[in-house]
Amino acid sequence: MTMPLYVQGGWFIGALLFIFGLKGMSSPASARQGIVTAGYGMLVAIAATFFIPGLQNLALMLAALLIGGAAAWISGKQVKMTDMPQMVAIYNGMGGGAAAAIAAIEFAKGDAHSVVTTVLAVVGALIGAVSFTGSCVAWAKLQGVLKKAWRLPAQNAVNVILAVVSVGLGVAMIGCAPAEPVLILGFFVIALLLGLVVTLPIGGADMPVVISLFNAFTGLAVGFEGYVLGNPALIIAGIVVGAAGTLLTQLMAKAMNRPLSNILFTPMVASGAGEAITGTMKEVNALDAAAMMRYAAKVIIVPGYGMAVAHAQHKVWEMTAILEEAGVEVKFAIHPVAGRMPGHMNVLLAEAGVPYDKIFDLDEINAEFGQADVALVIGANDVVNPSARTDKSSPIYGMPILDADKAQNVIVIKRGKGTGYSGVENALFYTDNCRMLYGDAQPMAGEIIQHLKTLG
């Protein structure tokens, strides 16, 4: 269908604003303006669509826009910053579902004219559907609705069979247009099942990478359906996101030293892995911890997701301010996958008011642990586990870690003696220079603040 110029123009402006917006989002100073720009792009693109001549089902369309938009707007306003990753996952899954649904109507109408169009419609539908159910599983895992990693016997074989069957059904649909309803239904059931089965065995620690991957998937699905619809705005927005998301996924996987194929096909097995650790965990109380930091020259704080869950960011920042007033140099060290997504911890610290120039990433700060008097680990675990450097049999061997163990003293604030998100024992807790401060991060930071004040 050829569209009138004013509709095409609206979509063009939309695509243009998306690219400017994303460009703006790539630098902290212009990031806020960037999302607003992209937002205008979306409004223009949607508004232009209403001017398509002969558009049917207008009331239904408005109702759908209102229901979907309002529900997401309200939930997005209410979600806590710590729960942001699963929220991104669920919105992303919805985009994938929308792309798959577009293809479903396309198949039902039998409008696809060339082989290229049909092939792209099928591929877009497949990855859109996988992204939809996969993202739902990712949400459920991070939200804590789904606690266990379900692993089927012969998991990889099941994955391959489902993938082959869905591609086969897709090929069958390409062969006959309009496709049989049974064929369409079968294709989508298998594709949705594939997303479920692929994602279920993946552990929580790998979820950020998976969410990013599904984000790229949805982008590609949107781009392909854009071609099917003959809509360049969808193609551009979808493919830009697909490429950006793929690169982002690679950066994340690299930060965890886990090749993407490992994450998807051989999930981390924690039980019985790694060398036995000798030594004991040694406790410390809040007063001693406060004194150690107060009389230190340099303290490096390693915050983890546990700190965020305990909402201790503000207390920790208050503590930092007191230490700095007393002349102690304080820095924050952030592991690339601290939190649940790369940069998530930076967002959480920014929320608490910690300035940029105190926050350092792994490459910048690792050399400095040797000169630090105290490394304070708050609610972080796997990202400071020295087994990743030394123990070849450990499941996390090879993952780049923050070298907290190289500091003169290590204080770990932790709720109990349990293992980290990966389920691996942490050798750091048993080393001679490490002291455990058991308790919730927020009251513990509060106690340290009290003691620091009395120490003067």
Partner 1 sequence: MDALLALYIFMLAAFTGYEIIAKVPVILHTPLMSGSNFVHGVVVVGAMIMLGQADTPVQQAIGFFAVALGAANAAGGYVVTERMLAMFKKKEL
Residues with catalytic annotation?
382
Site for partner 1 in 92-111 (CB under 8 A): 92, 94-95, 97-99, 101-102, 104-106, 108-109
Binding-site string for partner 1 from residue 334 to residue 353, where x marks contact by CB under 8 A and - marks none = x-x--x-xxxx-xx--xx-x
Query: Which tokens hold the place of 93?
Result: 């899954």
For position 157 contacting partner 1 by CB under 8 A, the verdict is no
**R_g over Cα of the chain:** 25
Contact letters for partner 1, residues 354-383 (x by CB under 8 A): -xx--x-x----------------------
The window from 10-18, 143-151, 317-325, 404-412 that contacts partner 1 (CB under 8 A) reads 10-18
Please list every residue from 220 through 279 that binds partner 1, using CB under 8 A: 221-223, 225-227, 229-245, 247-248, 251-252
Strands of the 359-361 sheet, one edge to the other: 359-361, 329-334, 298-303, 374-378, 409-414, 434-438
Single-letter residue type at 264: L
Q: Is 185 in the site for partner 1 (CB under 8 A)?
A: no
Distance in Å, CB of 339 to partner 1, minimum: 8
**Torsion region of 339: left, alpha or beta (phi above 0 gives left; psi -120 to 50 gives alpha):** left
Question: Considering CB under 8 A, how many residues would be counted as binding partner 1?
Answer: 117
The DSSP element (H or E) to which 437 belongs, if any, is strand 434-438
With CA atoms as reference, report the closest residue to 295 among 163, 427, 409, 192: 409
Whose Cβ is closer to partner 1: residue 20's or residue 430's? 20
Nearer to partner 1, 343 or 446 (CB): 343
Residue that the structure tokens 């998976």 belong to = 210
Torsion of CA 425, 431, 433, 439, to 10 degrees: 30
Asked whether 367 and 293 are in contact (CB, 8 A), the reply is no
Identify which of residues 10 and 203 has a Cβ nearer to partner 1 in the complex: 10
Q: How far is the CB of 125 from partner 1 (least distance, A)?
A: 12
Check binding of 25 to partner 1 (CB under 8 A). yes
CB closer to partner 1 out of 81 and 172? 81
- Cα(first)–Cα(last) distance of the chain, in Å? 76
For partner 1, the binding residues in 195-224 under the rule CB under 8 A are: 211-212, 215, 218-219, 221-223
Determine the Cα–Cα distance for residues 295 and 315; give it in Å rounded to an integer.
20
Name which position in 9, 51, 61, 152 contacts partner 1 (CB under 8 A).
61
Q: Does 386 bind partner 1 (CB under 8 A)?
A: no
Region near partner 1 per CB under 8 A, out of 75-83, 276-284, 366-374, 386-394? 75-83
- Write out the H or E segment, with its range, that includes residue 142: helix 115-143
Check residue 308 for interaction with partner 1 (CB under 8 A).
Answer: no
CB of 328 to partner 1, least distance (A): 22
Using rule CB under 8 A, residue 129 touches partner 1? no
Sequence-ordered list of residues with C-beta below 8 angstroms from that of 245, at least 6 positions apart, any chain: 212, 213, 215, 216, 217, 219
Q: 3-class SS at 391?
A: coil
